[in-house]
Structure 1
């Protein structure tokens, strides 16, 4: 998909609060707007609060983190949404250069996976390489 020509941001109200359509259009289809920029640029546009996150790690080097899942619903909300036929989706942010630092591990332990100001400060300064979406489902 060529995302370089799609630049117009659309508000959540444009999608009548359909968060899946909002995330897909603004951050997946328009990802060219955010590539090679700090995650803060995307976070500034985001109208849905990030509730949590999961960092990706390399099996060969635990200090290496090539990506991050941004979560918009907690586990209970994911289950409730699934039962009502409204799946929850995560944004997967791949970094332009994988992070190699013990800082992401320390933050995950301290925040227990919640999106805190410290977590926002650390990840907000990292450069986006690619954006994907994935259904978040708990069984």
Structure 2
């Protein structure tokens, strides 16, 4: 039994020292304005938002929205079944459904930014808002904009490889 404990402790020490030896990439990538990308919205999102996602973590969504500088056409929210009655995230769409479907038909990834909340929201509050404001409005931005970001990503359809 003691042999196994010693082996496990040795493995843990090796793992910790391996982690310490890996270089840390703490340099924050610089934000570049949308205009500099000459219409390449996907490259802008990747470079100025997703590659800088560490900057947005722990901050209100409003910080990301200010940098985003692209009008949001619509949104959807996630729903968790375990634990129940929680909305863990939001997806931001920059196209209407027709534009999104055309991009998919042309095998081009539509840009859909996903944001996971640090603290999941109450599903009944979110559903009540969605029923009242199905599209992105100042009221929706006011509510979601105050929520704290845990992670940022984008939906990958797999067309742009």
Please confirm whether the aligned pair reaches a TM-score higher than 0.5, indicating the same fold: yes
Q: Indicate yes or no: 2:142 matched with 1:126.
A: no
The CA distance in 2 between the partners of 1:90 and 1:4, in whole Å, is 26
> 1:26-50 CA distances to partner (integer Å, 9 max, x unpaired)?
1111011111000001111111101
Answer whether contact 2:29 2:51 (CA < 8 A) is retained.
no
More helix by share: 2
Instruction: Note the residue ranges of structure 1 that are not aligned, 5 or more in a row.
Output: none
SS of corresponding position for 2:155: strand
> 1:113-135 CA distances to partner (integer Å, 9 max, x unpaired)?
x1111110100000000001114
Q: How many residues align?
A: 135
Over the residues paired in the alignment, what is the CA RMSD in angstroms?
Answer: 2.1
Q: Which has the higher contact order (CA 8 A, sep 6+)?
A: 1
The CA distance in 2 between the partners of 1:5 and 1:61, in whole Å, is 36
- Specify which of 63, 69, 72 is matched with residue 85 of structure 2: 63
More strand by share: 1
What is the TM-score when the length of structure 2 is the normalising length?
A: 0.75
The CA distance in 1 between the partners of 2:66 and 2:136, in whole Å, is 14
